[in-house]
Amino acid sequence: MQIIVNGLILGSVYALIALGYTMVYGIIKLINFAHGDVYMMGAFIGYFLINNLHMNFYVALILSMILTACLGVIIEFLAYRPLRNSTRIAALITAIGVSFLLENVMIYFVGSSARQFPQAIEVKKYTFGSVNITNIQLMILITSLVLMVLLQLIVQKTKMGKAMRAVSVDTEAAQLMGINVDHTISFTFALGSALAGAAGVMIGLYYGSIDPLMGMTPGLKAFVAAVLGGIGIIPGAALGGIVIGLLETFTQSLPGKLSWIAGYKDAVVYAILIIILLVKPAGILGKDVKEKV
């Protein structure tokens, strides 16, 4: 049970990041490899607000989400919108370039060494039978679930959510129906970036350390989660994040002679991805769709 609880907490963070990947891919068929670095920017914004401006953690969390949402919109406007009608490989290379740009800008301003994230919430431990859990872990799990539910409500119940679904199905038809495609895509980037920013702040508090390269590995794992659940499907990204979190935690907890595998936990995650994609290429919740050539 302890392993499952730890896996759910880690997986919920991966799910928040994966949702950004899957929403952007669902609308413009772009793998936004800069998304992991937006997560890193969220952690540093939270660090600055708490450490320098002495803000309450939850106020800093909300402000970090707003500022990372603005960053996502700026990245989409400057880097991706001019390439919308170009080849997919051009957009993909641009995404990798934006990722390196964000990392190196942060290294220039704050240095490459890790920084200690301020302990904005006093740690309290709770015991439920054989399971130990802290108030910070509970906060991460509950906040992640609330954000995922809110996202689903926005996509399914609001006018902008209906526009997002229309653009993802057929961009030209959506334009003919009076939907502003540019605004819809920008809103999608804002939503995904806000979720990544929230994940960055919560992980900074959880692990107590942040650095400019902290977004690389979680970003890749979140991408794996999005593909695993079914890229372009919102519930699939959430499910994929939880599965990756559980897999990683189980791998780290293997006993006895199998404990050496813990050092290769990342390789195990990618190996499982390959196996599942060989069996079900569209992902767990994905459907095989034939494309006209």
Considering the domain boundaries, does residue 254 fall inside one?
Answer: no
292 vs 61, which has greater pLDDT? Answer: 61
HSE, side-chain direction, 13 A CA sphere, residue 65:
18
Considering the domain boundaries, does residue 142 fall inside one?
Answer: yes
288 confidence band (pLDDT: 50, 70, 90): low
What does R_g of the chain's alpha carbons equal in angstroms? 19
Whether 218 and 14 have beta carbons less than 8 Å apart is answered as yes
Range of the domain at 126: 2-222
pLDDT per position as a tens digit, 206-218: 999 999 999 988 8
Whether 205 and 120 have beta carbons less than 8 Å apart is answered as yes
Considering the domain boundaries, does residue 200 fall inside one?
Answer: yes
Q: Which helix (H) or strand (E) holds 126?
A: strand 125-128
If one counts the domains in the chain, the total is 1
pLDDT per position as a tens digit, 109-150: 999 899 999 988 888 898 888 888 999 999 999 999 999 999
Considering the domain boundaries, does residue 59 fall inside one?
Answer: yes
Indicate the pairing of strand 115-116 with strand 209-210.
antiparallel
Considering the domain boundaries, does residue 109 fall inside one?
Answer: yes
pLDDT per position as a tens digit, 166-191: 998 888 899 999 999 999 999 999 99
Considering the domain boundaries, does residue 273 fall inside one?
Answer: no
User: What's the pLDDT at 151?
Assistant: 92
What is the model's pTM? 0.90
Considering the domain boundaries, does residue 98 fall inside one?
Answer: yes
Contacting residues for 187 by C-beta, under 8 A, at least 6 apart: 160, 164
Q: Residue 231's closest CA among 22, 81, 10, 11?
A: 22
Considering the domain boundaries, does residue 227 fall inside one?
Answer: no
Please tell me the distance from the alpha carbon of residue 10 to that of residue 226, in angstroms, as a whole number: 15
pLDDT per position as a tens digit, 37-58: 999 999 999 999 999 999 999 9
Is 153 a residue whose pLDDT tops 50?
A: yes
Per-residue tokens: 217: 């590995």
Please tell me the distance from the alpha carbon of residue 238 to that of residue 244, in angstroms, as a whole number: 10
The mean pLDDT value of the chain amounts to 89
Is 90 a residue whose pLDDT tops 50?
A: yes
